[in-house]
Amino acid sequence: MNTIKIWQTLRTSLFYTRFNSWYYIKFVFVLQALILLLAFPFLALFFHFMTTSLGYDSITDQNILEFLRNPLGLLFAVIFGLLALFFIYIELSVLILITNYHQQQIPFTIRMILRKILRQSKYLLSYQFIIFLLYFVLIVPIAGMGLHSELTDGIYIPNFIVNELLKSTSGAILYFSFIAVVIYINIRLLFSLAIFLTGECTIFQAIKRSWVMTRWQTWRIVAIFVLMSLVATALIFIAFLIFLFPTILTEQLWAPAAPVVAGISLTLSQIFFIVAFTIVPVFVAHAINFMFLTRENSVIPRSQNRPVKKPHRKSFYVIITAGIIALITINGVYLTEVTYSDNTQIIAHRGLKSAGVENSLESLHGAAKIGVDFVEMDILETKDHQFVVFHDTNLRRLAGINRNVRDMTLAELEKVTIRQDGFISTIPSLDSYIEHAKKWNVNLNIEIKTHGGESKDFLANFEKVVQKYGVKSDYIYQSLDRNIVETIKKRYPAMRVGFIVPLNFGNLVNVDADFIVIEEFSFSSSMQRQARERNMDLLVWTITTPKAARKYMLADVDGIITEIPEEAMKVQNDLRNDQAVSTKLSDAIDLLTGN
């Protein structure tokens, strides 16, 4: 087998992508449009059918196991997975086959491509399907490198899981080891789909052969994908500057013309990025195919005979021109009228961690000084039925002591030293925390956590504490425990209580609460709309970057629970004070590129 050559792979992939660019733009655009217009609605309808037929409004982290334990629910889930897998298989297979046939200079029709894909599907009607399913689960990370399905976009490990893992050395090692293993397996299985589609073999045989063909080629394949990612990032950055600069210049020279220039720039950027995001998967598919053919010793010299382009009628150009003019007008009006509503509250997750250990009085004081709207903190019940401000049920992570909170008294816990990121503190009681919050004039978002050993008067005792300090209606309260949320809502209507939802698929979870706290992995504009229809607030957690903070502020969510309250407040201040058309254009392009 020939050795993969990095620059030759990139040059050849670029040649074939440019050589057939107009065909790819039209065909892949139509393919992706069909997936968006047919596959997504079909899967959404089936998901709605399978949940409502079993009496579920939505699937969340709390009911998913119950749903799967139902034989009919399990059957529905398998069918849903099969349908999603089928659409992903079709989309990726079409890309692989078309680029393979172009490089092999094999004449083809779309009917021929689909027939080939469906013919190979016969190998999936056996136990080999399980292998095929595992293969597609493993190739999801490749989506970040360009070869993606519309159905796999947005799939990633939820941030709240990653954040918790990275808070400990063992968790960080586990996380990065997992990512490294998955990427390595991806590389070794890179040719599996091309082998499966172009030969008469089972998926297991294709995987086995790909493993052999990628032996000793790992670093070359990694280098190719790294270079492609770097070039793509650089091009996006350059394009961003090119589209933004004319508007910035116009604002300085002749401000009244800025909306028109911005409308033109936004329209051109929309066209550019649609074309770019259409072409990138083709380029990656060409790279995969060329590496595969190189190892197979089957590379054919490049043909210089360009495909004959059929001339378009004048009506085609008239329609395109009219569409562009209309889009420029719409974009110009949008950029002029859109404004930041400034309704998003900033909630510091466990305080300001650059000022002290999470959930400590120092981190509370730091958050209070920068002026956040709320400080989110966690409480647990002690052995003697008091409350401490602490997140974990065990002291190991912050105190290095393998003892459970439920087994210790308040007096014992208050003497425990906790350490984090160079800071040292002690565990505060809930009473002490509230007293200092009132002293420093900052409101609290109290998360009521459980360890399984709560007393029967757990909630009544908690209510007495907040009642004692007169903060019952000033603070907000939240919990992962649905029973706690609905009990507080029923017994103590003066307390604004929210339900925390780490995972939510389908409709927004139906719960008797004042607000929903949803992890950003599950957030959608549809859920935001449903919350407002129910007269509920929607908070998003855990926001870890200024870009994410800006995104949700522009989406006008009711609040963000963030690890970076200082940066989030700066973002909010910038949005309040900078309503320039160029800034709105920048936000629109960011949204377009998924940043």
- Please state at what angle helix 430-439 crosses helix 361-370, rounded to 10 degrees: 20
pLDDT value at residue 145 = 46
Poorest-confidence range of 60-74, 373-387, 435-449?
60-74
Q: Are residues 29 and 51 in the same domain?
A: yes
Q: Are residues 360 and 297 in the same domain?
A: no
- Please state at what angle helix 430-439 crosses helix 458-468, rounded to 10 degrees: 30
Q: Are residues 149 and 191 in the same domain?
A: yes
In a domain, 15, yes or no: yes
In a domain, 1, yes or no: no
Q: Are residues 317 and 363 in the same domain?
A: no
Chain segment 46-78, per-residue pLDDT in tens: 999 999 999 998 899 889 999 999 999 999 998
Residue type, 31: L
Long-range contacts of 311-318 (CB under 8 A, 24+ apart): none
Coil vs helix vs strand at 418:
strand
- Dmax over Cα atoms in the chain, in whole Å? 84
In a domain, 99, yes or no: yes
pLDDT band at 304 (very low <50, low <70, confident <90, very high): low
Residue 135 has pLDDT above 80, yes or no: no
Q: Are residues 217 and 68 in the same domain?
A: yes
pLDDT value at residue 86 = 83
Residue range 458-477: mean pLDDT, rounded: 95
Q: What percent of the chain has pLDDT over 90?
A: 58
Contact 561, 542 (CB under 8 A): yes
Residue 144 has pLDDT above 60, yes or no: no
d(CA 147, CA 291) in angstroms, rounded, equals 15
Chain segment 392-415, per-residue pLDDT in tens: 999 999 999 999 999 999 999 999
In a domain, 247, yes or no: yes
Residue range 254-261: mean pLDDT, rounded: 90
Residue range 329-338: mean pLDDT, rounded: 83
197 or 138, greater pLDDT = 197
- Locate tokens 């509370």: which residue? 364
Identify any residues that bridge with 499 across adjacent strands, giving them in sequence order: 479, 516
- DSSP conformation class of 124: G
Q: Are residues 300 and 376 in the same domain?
A: no
Q: Are residues 82 and 17 in the same domain?
A: yes
In a domain, 587, yes or no: no
Residue 432 has pLDDT above 60, yes or no: yes
Stated pTM of the model: 0.85
Q: What is the CATH number of the domain that holds 430?
A: 3.20.20.190
Residue 518 has pLDDT above 90, yes or no: yes
Average pLDDT, the chain: 89
Q: Are residues 260 and 376 in the same domain?
A: no
- DSSP conformation class of 193: H
Q: Are residues 156 and 248 in the same domain?
A: yes
Tokens of 185: 């397996």
In a domain, 175, yes or no: yes
d(CA 81, CA 395) in angstroms, rounded, equals 40
pLDDT value at residue 143 = 45
Coil vs helix vs strand at 507:
coil
User: How many helical (H) and strand (E) elements, i.e. helices and strands, does the chain have?
Assistant: 24, 13
Pairing of strands 58-60, 537-543: unpaired
What domain range includes position 566?
Answer: 345-578
pLDDT value at residue 489 = 94
Contact 525, 546 (CB under 8 A): no
pLDDT value at residue 202 = 83
Q: Are residues 278 and 383 in the same domain?
A: no
Which helix H or strand E contains 538, and what residues bound it? strand 537-543
In a domain, 98, yes or no: yes
Using CA atoms of 211, 145, 140, 95 in order, give the dihedral in degrees to the nearest 10: -80
In a domain, 369, yes or no: yes
Q: How far is the CA of 246 from the CAs of 261, 325, 582, in angstroms?
A: 7, 18, 9
Q: Are residues 290 and 365 in the same domain?
A: no
pLDDT value at residue 142 = 47
Residue 170 has pLDDT above 70, yes or no: yes
Q: Are residues 450 and 355 in the same domain?
A: yes
Provide the number of structural domains found in the chain.
Answer: 2
Chain segment 4-48, per-residue pLDDT in tens: 999 999 999 999 998 888 888 888 888 878 888 888 899 989 999
